[in-house]
Structure 1
Amino acid sequence: MSSNFRGAALMVAAMAGFAVEDMLLKSVTDELQVGQILIMFGSFGTILFALLARSRGDRLLHPNLLHPVVGAKALAEICGRLFFTLSLALAPLSTVSALLQATPLVVVAGAAIFFGERVGWRRWTAIATGFVGVLIVLRPGVELSWGALAALAGMLGFALRDLATRGAPKTLSNLVLGVYGFLALVPAGAVLLAVTGGAVWPTSAAFATVGTASVVGVAAYYALTAAMRVGEVAVVTPFRYTRLVFALILASIVFAERPDAMTLLGSAVIVASGIYTLLRSRRETQLTVAQDA
């Protein structure tokens, strides 16, 4: 089995895990306030990431944790997770997952703006086309909903988190960054809960559901990290879009959702634009390496 095949398999497994995590969290939004879900999810995630980090010998307390980019990452994590969880409560899972697929496009655009990475006109065109796909899903002026806007805000938060991760000190591992990213959700959830009110004592089923979502999410994150390390990034990364396939299947089976033609069309445009952008990035990297050789 080639390294690229193993990497692709791990990436698909990771995306399936994230889709299951989304489905589990959405299933408890009728019972728990979003603030409560953030507190519970953040607590579980912090503990699990801390255990994984310690098992690898990573330092949980490091001077570079005070770096401004680490703080920016935590804020972006809060923004992304807060609005994403809110969108799960307000919008269909299929719509939320479709908009989430635009994250890589925003990351590429952000890398060009903030890190000075070279992005040619073809990739800018693909990014613009992807944003057209976002508009098709959102349908502003026709069926624009608060849930869809929350999903869009969550997607932007996750994209900023990924960009901040790239700019974080290399002395901090992804697992340590994960610890503090999830830890930041706890006070954020507490503040939101204090504002909205409506807290209830979670049932054993809700507690188990959020706990399972945390375990599945951390496992998916671990598989994602392994996939990026095993195979070539340009080969493995396009398989991120399988998350939408899993999400559509789960949305249909669990929530009886039936995405309309516009949502499916917008999803296809976003995914096609993202895959083209990633493949074009791979070609640009190969050309750069060949010129430097």
Structure 2
Amino acid sequence: MVVAAFFFGLMGVFVKLGSASLSSSALVFWRTLIGVLLLGIPALLKGQRFATPCLRRHIQRGLLAYTSLLLYFYAIAHLPLATAVTLNYTSPMFLALLSVVFLREKLSPRALFALALGFVGVVLLLRPTLASDAWLVGLMGLCSGLLAGWSYLHVRELARLGEPEWRIVFYFALIATLGGAVLVSFEGWQPMDGYTMLMVAGLGITATIAQLAMTRAYKVGNKLVAANLSYLTVVFSTLLGVLLWDESLPGASLSAIILIVISGMLASRR
């Protein structure tokens, strides 16, 4: 999971660099297209079954996750890397809330405390953006966390119905790629020079390595430990933002990031 967190942080770097040449929708398209090929071709060669009795749920999950990824990439392009990543990592908070709304789950006092802590962190983190022209981007980053948490509800339900892990990820990548192709067609396809192709390749490679490492961590390790270690992505993103763009976050923003990370860890233990 430490490896996964590091490469997810690097993925954010390639998104930020690539956003100078490509739109967020184009970056999402190329990132998910690589996922379709890396998952689909081996599955085809192994004779895996692509047909599923849960197509409607896959479509719902895919649309939620695609929109979340689109908003996330847009936030990375226009906010400090650490801020954008942290806003996306509010997903465990929203997952806990949505579990109450849709699944009628009851929250423990610890989970309620985690949500309160996370809410304070979000307010502190968004305060600088709400006081500037970047308020809309900040809210978009927060919405990426909400939609990611919502999509995890569908992942949980698909797993409960017996859907294999590769098919859950494949259908998300496929739906996101098709949605991205439609959106980019409306925008107009942008030509790519050597530098842009390198950024796209870096995005696809780092995302794939991160996904594989994360899958391995959850498969063979303690799931709670893996979930907590995933927040190292926030740490790595903060360090990379400082090293590459000299992004200096004020003390209030750093405190907010710490509160949100603690909140996510507590929420995952509910």
TM-score (norm 1): 0.84
What is the CA distance between 1:42 and its match in structure 2? 1.9
Instruction: Decide which of 111, 115, 135 is 2:99's aligned counterpart.
Output: 111
User: Aligned partners of 1:69 and 1:123: how far apart in 2?
Assistant: 27
Structure 1 partner of 2:216: 226
User: Aligned partners of 2:25 and 2:262: how far apart in 1?
Assistant: 35
What is the CA distance between 1:95 and its match in structure 2? 1.0
Instruction: Decide which of 180, 191, 214 is 2:171's aligned counterpart.
Output: 180
User: Aligned partners of 2:155 and 2:43: how far apart in 1?
Assistant: 16
Instruction: Please give the root-mean-square deviation of Cα atoms over the aligned residues, in Å.
Output: 2.1
With 75-84 and 184-193 compared, the bigger mean Cα shift is at 184-193
- For the 8 Å contact 2:90–2:142, the answer to whether it is kept is no
Q: Does residue 128 in structure 1 map to residue 116 in structure 2?
A: yes
Task: List alignment gaps of at least 5 residues for structure 1.
Answer: 1-10, 282-293
Structure 1 partner of 2:183: 192
Task: List alignment gaps of at least 5 residues for structure 2.
Answer: none
Structure 1 partner of 2:229: 239
Q: Does residue 147 in structure 1 map to residue 137 in structure 2?
A: yes
User: Aligned partners of 2:208 and 2:144: how far apart in 1?
Assistant: 19
* Correspondence list, 1:1-293, <5 A: 11-54=1-44, 58-59=48-49, 61-66=50-55, 68-139=56-127, 141-143=130-132, 145-168=135-158, 170-197=161-188, 199-279=189-269, 281=270
- For the 8 Å contact 1:84–1:154, the answer to whether it is kept is yes
- Name the amino acid aligned to 1:98: T
What is the CA distance between 1:163 and its match in structure 2? 1.3
- Name the amino acid aligned to 1:64: P
- Name the amino acid aligned to 2:170: V
TM-score (norm 2): 0.90
> Are the structure 2 counterparts of residues 63 and 260 from structure 1 closer, same or farther at C-alpha, using a change threshold of 3 Å?
same
> Are the structure 2 counterparts of residues 217 and 52 from structure 1 closer, same or farther at C-alpha, using a change threshold of 3 Å?
farther
How many pairs does the alignment contain? 267
Q: Residues 172-204 of structure 1: CA distance to partner in whole angstroms, max 9, x if unpaired?
A: 22221211211222232233334444x421112
Query: For 1:205, what is the secondary structure of its paired residue?
Result: helix
